[in-house]
Every structure is written in structure tokens, then in C-alpha cells.
């Protein structure tokens, strides 16, 4: 099981392009663990590159501690389960960090398959264009036997590359009964052309000509026509303004009707004749006031009852020693939980869509399958352990029953011997039988103790193997090296400060 998990971790290292991924025997030392953590965090959230600028294990101890605490805080914000403390990140091994690695791999987005496609989009576009160019135009079956004759084309169109059969097919494709039965919009009445310009131009021409009675009559008529034209334009503008006002009035009437529809028609009838229906309106108002007072009284009574019940519950809780909380705190907590549930549902939907987009050809599907296989194996082992425990319990019960049977048989035999104990020989047999009974009971107790001791020793061996795999000696050595490095750095810093200030005293600064 651990080999499968380690194999999935190594495959993830290859996908993340770690520097140690192509090695044969990966030991996962502190430098490799640090690189794996940083590259996983970069893949999950690209903005973390500002906080973690490099995946190389820092040489300086202070920088090392700083980077480890940043990684620990990031993992804590992502709710990664396991030992994610900074000292485990720096000095831990694959055995102590295996669960953290699995949880971190699950957080990695499934976008590795899309990388190759994004790197060369131009090639894919060119391939798609060439494929589309090679395909011929669609010609329906009914047009296959028609002749290739050009029709009337647009001036800029290429007649040689045009097939009329494709035009027929597009007509068939675009036609639908719903589109043909759509009602046409009514045509907008056109604005009558103004005659003012023509009349003005005619007047200018006539003014330039010589005086003549017919010309003067014609001039007078043109003036009348121009006056009428101006009046017509004024009237037409008034008509347009009145149409706009009418549209506004209709809109306001519609709004009033919609608002009035919300109220009871009985109140509207009463308001239309207030003088005649004044008594009815007053009676209605008085009845409503009485009802409101009754409802308020009932509400106060109900509230007092609820307060009494709440006080009783609080007293019971105080007597039992249960911590009480106010209703507002409980409501706030429920609201927070609802908001968190909504956020989780939105994230679940986003993840589902992301999974549907990526498809089943993703390389992480293999890791997911392995994780599920590991979980199934763990469940099977737990079931197997439960069955073993149940079998042990049944065996213990059987042993107790057999011990009881032996005790009962001993007592029966002893009673029969005591009844027939007339001679000294029989008394000797009774004494020997009692000794056998005592020895058998001691043997039973020894068997019980030995079985318990065996179980305890097995548990101790398991704990010893687990502790040995944690590599405490290696971690202790790493910590000792870091401590010596810190002490040397502190000594160097103190020497530098004393060179700058000879009167410097460390004890005075500390105290």
C-alpha cells in the first residue's frame, strides 16, 4: 500500500518537473521535500511565487526557517491535514509527511494535459484550416444531377468558384416554418416632405424677375403657400408633442392600474365616495385597531410564556453544569454555517465543471484511481482487523465456557468422592484430586497471562517499528547542525557589534 502511494508521489514529481524526478532511488531528503512542497504550491496557486521565490533549499538557517514557516501557513490556510509544522517540513521524512503529500496532490488542478495544447496553438489552427479547405461544399441529394451553370453574381464575387447547388442547400437549411410565420412589424408612417424650401427658392426667383400682374398673383399665392407650410409644420410639431404626452399618460395609467391591482377593490370603492361611505370606513378602521390590539396582547402573552420556558431551560442547564449561549450567538453561528455551505456548494459546482471540461484523459485520473485503491485497501484491512478481533472474542468466550465446565466437573467429582469417603484410601484420592484442581486453575491463569503478554509484546513491536521509521536520529543530527550554525552566526554578529561599539554588553540588552 505504501509503495503505491510512494509511486503516485514520484509520478507527481515527474509531472511537476522536479530536478530529482528522474533518479532511480529517490530517498526524499530535506532538499527534495522542500522542492516538492514549493512546486506543488506554485502549481496550486501561482501568486505564491512572490512569497516563495525559489524551490532550492536555502543555505542560510534563518532563510530556511522563514521559508518553512511560510509553507506551513499556506498549508494551514488550505486546510491540509497532517503534521504541517515548520520543523516537520525541514526535518521530516517520507514516513511522517506521506499523508500531507497525498492531501497536497489532491489540491493540484488538473491542467497538465492542456499545457501541450497551449504551447503550440498556431500549429493546431493551421491544421484545422487546411482540413476545412480540403473539404468540398455540401450538395444535397436532390441537387446532385443539376448542371453546373453560373447565375447572376455580385460584381466582387468569384463566379468560377461558386456552385449554385450550395446556394440551394443554404436556402433549405435556413428555411423553417417558425421563421416564415413570424408577423411582420408595421411600417412607420413617413414624415411628409417639406415644401418650404421649394417655395422659398421660387420666391427668390420671382423677386428677381420684372413686375407683372400674373407674376404678382403667383407671388401672393406662393406667400400663402409658404405661410400655410409654416403653420403646417407648427401643427405637425404640436401633434408630435401631443402624441408623446399621450404615450406618457398611457404609461402612467398602466402603472396606476398595476399599483391599484395590489389593493382590495372594496377600499377603492369606498375611497371613490368618502362622504357616503365614511361610517363604513370608520367601522373598518376601528375593527382593525381592535384586532391589532388583540394580536399585540396575544404576542406579549406568547413572548412571556417563551421567556418563562427559556428561564426554566437555563436553570436546568445551570443545574446540570451545561454552558448556555444566547439566541443571537446561535443564530449568528447558523448564518455563518449557511454562508459556508453556500460557498462550498459553489466550489463543488466549479470543480464539477472543471472535471467535465478536462475529461477522463487526464493523467491525474490515474493518481485518483490509486488513491481510491489505497482507501479501499485500508477499508479491507480494517474489516479484516475487526473480524480478527471478533474471532478472538469468540475464542475467549469459548475458553471461559470450557473453564466453567471443568470447574463444574471438578466440583461434581469432589462431591461424589466426599460422599464415599469412608476409608483412608478414598481420602488420599480426594487430596490428590484437590491438588490437580489447584494446578489446573494455575495453568489456566498462566495461559491467560501469556496471551495478554503476547498481545502487548506485538503492540510494542509495532510501535517500535513505527518509531524507528520516523528517523529520529537523523532529525536530531539535522537539528544539532542547525543549532551549531545559529550559535556561530550569533557569535559573528556579536563580534561585528562589538567592533562597532566596544562598550556593548549582551546581558544588559537581554535584561
Buried b (16+ CB within 10 A) or exposed e, 256-284: eeeeeeeeeeeeeebeeeeeebeeeeeee
CA 259 – CA 250 distance, rounded (Å):
14
Cell matching residue 487: 550559535
pLDDT surpasses 70 at 497: yes
pLDDT at 347: 81
Question: Quick one: 291 and 390 in the same domain?
Answer: no
Question: Quick one: 215 and 242 in the same domain?
Answer: yes
pLDDT at 434: 73
Question: Quick one: 373 and 434 in the same domain?
Answer: yes
Question: Quick one: 125 and 108 in the same domain?
Answer: no
Q: Which of 171, 169, 161, 162 is nearest to 143 (CA)?
A: 169
Inter-residue contact 36 to 18 (CB < 8 Å): yes
- Phi/psi region, residue 346 (left: phi>0; alpha: psi -120 to 50; beta: rest), is alpha
Residue 63, classed as helix, strand or coil, is: helix
pLDDT tens profile 133-158:
554 555 555 555 555 454 444 444 44
In a domain, 331, yes or no: no
Inter-residue contact 9 to 105 (CB < 8 Å): yes
In a domain, 509, yes or no: no
pLDDT surpasses 80 at 386: yes
In a domain, 334, yes or no: no
Buried b (16+ CB within 10 A) or exposed e, 119-147: eeeeeeeeeeeeeeeeeeeeeeeebeeee
pLDDT at 65: 85
Inter-residue contact 138 to 166 (CB < 8 Å): yes
Question: Quick one: 244 and 298 in the same domain?
Answer: no
pLDDT surpasses 80 at 209: no
Residue 109, classed as helix, strand or coil, is: coil
Question: Quick one: 130 and 73 in the same domain?
Answer: no
pLDDT at 49: 86
Most confident of 4-18, 102-116, 157-171: 4-18
In a domain, 266, yes or no: no
In a domain, 124, yes or no: yes
* Phi, psi dihedral angles at 255 (to 5 degrees): -65, -40
Question: Quick one: 89 and 12 in the same domain?
Answer: yes
Q: Mean pLDDT of all residues in the chain?
A: 72
CA 463 – CA 473 distance, rounded (Å):
16
Question: Quick one: 370 and 398 in the same domain?
Answer: yes
What Å distances lie between residue 374 and 1, 363, 370, CA to CA?
Answer: 6, 18, 6
Question: Quick one: 250 and 310 in the same domain?
Answer: no
- How many structural domains are present in the chain? 5
Residue 119, classed as helix, strand or coil, is: helix
In a domain, 228, yes or no: yes
Most confident of 153-157, 227-231, 478-482: 227-231
Buried b (16+ CB within 10 A) or exposed e, 423-436: eeeeeeeeeeeeee
CA 270 – CA 177 distance, rounded (Å):
53
pLDDT tens profile 248-272:
888 887 777 677 656 666 666 666 6
pLDDT surpasses 70 at 455: yes
Question: Quick one: 375 and 453 in the same domain?
Answer: yes
- DSSP state at residue 333: H
- DSSP state at residue 49: G
pLDDT surpasses 70 at 168: no
In a domain, 172, yes or no: yes
pTM of the model: 0.34
Cell matching residue 469: 521509521
pLDDT at 106: 85
For the chain, helix, strand, coil in percent to 5 are 75, 0, 25
pLDDT surpasses 60 at 416: yes
> What angle is formed at CA 50 by the lines to CA 46 and CA 51, rounded to 5 degrees?
105
Structural domain for 422, as ranges: 364-470
* Phi, psi dihedral angles at 376 (to 5 degrees): -65, -40
Query: Who contacts 103 (Cβ-Cβ below 8 Å, separation ≥6)?
Result: 80, 81, 82
pLDDT tens profile 338-371:
888 888 888 888 777 776 666 544 556 666 777 7
- Phi/psi region, residue 471 (left: phi>0; alpha: psi -120 to 50; beta: rest), is left
361-389 average pLDDT score? 76
Question: Quick one: 225 and 293 in the same domain?
Answer: no
pLDDT surpasses 50 at 160: no
Inter-residue contact 48 to 41 (CB < 8 Å): yes
pLDDT at 389: 81
Question: Quick one: 99 and 128 in the same domain?
Answer: no
Q: Dmax of the chain from CA atoms?
A: 184
In a domain, 158, yes or no: yes
For the ranges 43-52, 71-80, 468-477, the lowest mean pLDDT is seen at 468-477
Amino acid at each position: 500500500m505504501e509503495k503505491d502511494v510512494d509511486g503516485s508521489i514520484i509520478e507527481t514529481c515527474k509531472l511537476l518537473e522536479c530536478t530529482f524526478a528522474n533518479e532511480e532511488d529517490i530517498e526524499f531528503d530535506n532538499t527534495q521535500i522542500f522542492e516538492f512542497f514549493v512546486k506543488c504550491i506554485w502549481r496550486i496557486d501561482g501568486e505564491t511565487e512572490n512569497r516563495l521565490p525559489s524551490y532550492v533549499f536555502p543555505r542560510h538557517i534563518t532563510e530556511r526557517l522563514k521559508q518553512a514557516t511560510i509553507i506551513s501557513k499556506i498549508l494551514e490556510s488550505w486546510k491540509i491535514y497532517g503534521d504541517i509544522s515548520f520543523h516537520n517540513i525541514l526535518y521530516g521524512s517520507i514516513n511522517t509527511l506521506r499523508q500531507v503529500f497525498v492531501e497536497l496532490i489532491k489540491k493540484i488542478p488538473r491542467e497538465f494535459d492542456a499545457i501541450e495544447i497551449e504551447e503550440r496553438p498556431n500549429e493546431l489552427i493551421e491544421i484545422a484550416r487546411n482540413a476545412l479547405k480540403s473539404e468540398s461544399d455540401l450538395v444535397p441529394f436532390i441537387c446532385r444531377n443539376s448542371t453546373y451553370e453560373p447565375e447572376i453574381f455580385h460584381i466582387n464575387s468569384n463566379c468560377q468558384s461558386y456552385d449554385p447547388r450550395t446556394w440551394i442547400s443554404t436556402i433549405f437549411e435556413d428555411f423553417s416554418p417558425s421563421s416564415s410565420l413570424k408577423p411582420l412589424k408595421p411600417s412607420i408612417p413617413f414624415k411628409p416632405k417639406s415644401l418650404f424650401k421649394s417655395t422659398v427658392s421660387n420666391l427668390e426667383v420671382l423677386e428677381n424677375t420684372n413686375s407683372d400682374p400674373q407674376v404678382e398673383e403667383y407671388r401672393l399665392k406662393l406667400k400663402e403657400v409658404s405661410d400655410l407650410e409654416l403653420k403646417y409644420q407648427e401643427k405637425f410639431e404640436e401633434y408630435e408633442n401631443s402624441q408623446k404626452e399621450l404615450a406618457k399618460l398611457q404609461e402612467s395609467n398602466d402603472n396606476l392600474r398595476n399599483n391599484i391591482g395590489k389593493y382590495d377593490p372594496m377600499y377603492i370603492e369606498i375611497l371613490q365616495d368618502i362622504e357616503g361611505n365614511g361610517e363604513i370606513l370608520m367601522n373598518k378602521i376601528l375593527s382593525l385597531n381592535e384586532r391589532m390590539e388583540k394580536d399585540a396582547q396575544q404576542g406579549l402573552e406568547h413572548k412571556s410564556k417563551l421567556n418563562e420556558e427559556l428561564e426554566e431551560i437555563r436553570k436546568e442547564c445551570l443545574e446540570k453544569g451545561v454552558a448556555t449561549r444566547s439566541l443571537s450567538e446561535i443564530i449568528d453561528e447558523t448564518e455563518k454555517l449557511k454562508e459556508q455551505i453556500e460557498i462550498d456548494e459553489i466550489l463543488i459546482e466549479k470543480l464539477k465543471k472543471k472535471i467535465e471540461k478536462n475529461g477522463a484523459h487526464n493523467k491525474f485520473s490515474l493518481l485518483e484511481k490509486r488513491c481510491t485503491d489505497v482507501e479501499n485497501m485500508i477499508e479491507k484491512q480494517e474489516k479484516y482487523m475487526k473480524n480478527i478481533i471478533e474471532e478472538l472474542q469468540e475464542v475467549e468466550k469459548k475458553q471461559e465456557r470450557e473453564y466453567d465446565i471443568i470447574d463444574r466437573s471438578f466440583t461434581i467429582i469432589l462431591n461424589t468422592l466426599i460422599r464415599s469417603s469412608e476409608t483412608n484410601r478414598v481420602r488420599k484420592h480426594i487430596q490428590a484430586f484437590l491438588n490437580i484442581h489447584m494446578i489446573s486453575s494455575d495453568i489456566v491463569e498462566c495461559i491467560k497471562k501469556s496471551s495478554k503478554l503476547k498481545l502487548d509484546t506485538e503492540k510494542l513491536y509495532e510501535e517500535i517499528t513505527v518509531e524507528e521509521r520516523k528517523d529520529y536520529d537523523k532529525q536530531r543530527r539535522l537539528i544539532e547542525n542547525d543549532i551549531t550554525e545559529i550559535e556561530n552566526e550569533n557569535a559573528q554578529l556579536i563580534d561585528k557589534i562589538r567592533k562597532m561599539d566596544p562598550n556593548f554588553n549582551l546581558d544588559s540588552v537581554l535584561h
